[in-house]
Amino acid sequence: MPADTEVVIVGGGLAGLAAARRLHRSGVPWLLVEATDRLGGRVATDNVDGYLLDRGFQVLNTGYPRLGTLLDVGILDLGYFTSGVLVRRNGTLHRLTHPLRDPIAAPLSASAGVGTLRDRLRLAALAATCAATGVRRLLDAPELTTEQALRRAGLSNRIIEELLRPFLSGVLADRALETSSHVTALIARSFVRGRIGVPAGGMAELPAAVAGPLPRTLLRLGTPVTAVNPGRVRTPDGDIRCRAVLVATDPGTATRLLPSLGPVRTRALTTYYHSVAHPPLDEPILLLDGDRREIVANTVVISRAAPTYAPPGRHLVSTSVAGHTPPPETVVRAELGRLYGCRTDDWEHLTTVNLPAALPAAPPGQGRLRQPVDLGDGVFVAGDHRDSPSIQGALASGWRTGGAIARHLTPRT
């Protein structure tokens, strides 16, 4: 363990890696210490008997603004999802197409039963505005809860309950839609501007690509930091002295290492993985529950997007549930039978991934989604809890904080 370096980065998730990339580009000496034996934090993939099981269903949105700074998305070999969603309502499957990719079909395609025609036209107009409006202007809007903002935008109770609540509960892990409207507006902007997909090698390929240009010798794995003080970081191997320290851990650990941050509430997501011989859908499209049963947030045949997610002859179904009390697998499987409209008794349950602290809660009060990162005395903090609860939020936070540290160490005279 080197005795001294300019910057110690605690945590090798997307935020810590993005910060390392920024410092590396600026020529500032740094060392990253990661508690576990791998990089990527909450973005991880387990390869189990030929199935790629992401540690919780996650997708990459190509519309995230910070992605392009850090990697060429092309190298991830993304398998894309079909734009739009399917909604099961009153026993029928309804398709809502992406309002910007197919603006004529979008409002009419679901005329049989999700929301009203006025809702669908309104949604298409909102999506167009969201896509065309710059981030700064979107953040000038009054900050409300997501539910208040949807109602203020003139959307009816029906479209909120049949489409938006189920969809957003999977994205934000927040059925109550209490998340800041600023967070939701930026995530929605990326959804309408980009496409969603998963890398052929699993979501873990994303942090691997961000870490790609970094020297391996500066990435210390298996080193849990136990205490952080100005100019000093404590590890089981001894103290590391530095001029600046960046805590880029999950929010719970950040609060333990830096008690002045105060507690960060988190939201839970659970993913159920099933292996099937005969996929219930022949396309990779998110299926939502429009019947307000509030069990499943979304489900998808993920191996339809990326066939590498399942071994030959099998398919992988990924199902997300939001909330701190996930139902038993048998309940979810029965619900999947109703949603897909098929028998599920021969589905093989591979595993359930339960993450009580999947995302930081981001209630109104996020402002311009740039929480302070410079805590003084050369101590900095980064992570999705400082920007927005997403891959974009983690990358943007790390990049921004890396810049702040470089400026702190080399102030302009």
Ligand X SMILES: Cc1cc2nc3c(=O)[nH]c(=O)nc-3n(C[C@H](O)[C@H](O)[C@H](O)COP(=O)(O)OP(=O)(O)OC[C@H]3O[C@@H](n4cnc5c(N)ncnc54)[C@H](O)[C@@H]3O)c2cc1C
Contact 388, 186 (CB under 8 A): yes
Sole binder of ligand X in the list 8, 20, 30, 41 (CB under 6 A): 41
Query: What H or E segment, with its residue span, contains residue 205?
Result: helix 205-211
Q: Which is nearer to ligand X, 110 or 198 (CB)?
A: 198
Smallest Cα–Cα separation from 209: which of 412, 81, 45? 45
Coil, helix or strand at residue 39: coil
Q: Which is nearer to ligand X, 291 or 374 (CB)?
A: 374
CA gap 406, 386 in Å, rounded: 18
We find the least distance from the C-beta atom of residue 203 to ligand X, in angstroms, to be 8
Choose the stretch contacting ligand X; rule: CB under 6 A; options: 55-63, 68-76, 89-97, 332-340.
55-63
Contact 80, 284 (CB under 8 A): yes
Does 34 help bind ligand X (rule: CB under 6 A)?
yes
* Alpha carbon of residue 261 to chain centroid: 22
Does 197 help bind ligand X (rule: CB under 6 A)?
no
Q: Which two tokens stand for residue 99?
A: 């309002």
Query: What H or E segment, with its residue span, contains residue 319?
Result: strand 315-322
Sole binder of ligand X in the list 29, 65, 194, 224 (CB under 6 A): 224
Q: Which is nearer to ligand X, 300 or 394 (CB)?
A: 394
Contact 141, 112 (CB under 8 A): no
Does 76 help bind ligand X (rule: CB under 6 A)?
no
Which residues inside 268-297 make contact with ligand X, applying CB under 6 A? 269
CA gap 341, 94 in Å, rounded: 13
Contact 378, 228 (CB under 8 A): no
Choose the stretch contacting ligand X; rule: CB under 6 A; options: 77-85, 148-156, 299-307, 352-360.
352-360
Sole binder of ligand X in the list 5, 13, 287, 378 (CB under 6 A): 13
Sole binder of ligand X in the list 7, 9, 14, 362 (CB under 6 A): 14
Does 43 help bind ligand X (rule: CB under 6 A)?
yes
CA gap 313, 145 in Å, rounded: 45
Does 35 help bind ligand X (rule: CB under 6 A)?
yes
Does 250 help bind ligand X (rule: CB under 6 A)?
yes
We find the least distance from the C-beta atom of residue 19 to ligand X, in angstroms, to be 9
Does 114 help bind ligand X (rule: CB under 6 A)?
no
| φ, ψ for residue 389, nearest 5 deg | -75, 75
Sole binder of ligand X in the list 261, 359, 396, 406 (CB under 6 A): 359
Q: Where are the alpha helices (DSSP H) in 51-104?
A: 67-70
Does 58 help bind ligand X (rule: CB under 6 A)?
yes
Residues making contact with ligand X (CB under 6 A): 10-16, 33-36, 41-43, 56, 58-59, 224-225, 248-250, 253, 269, 355, 358-359, 383-384, 389-394
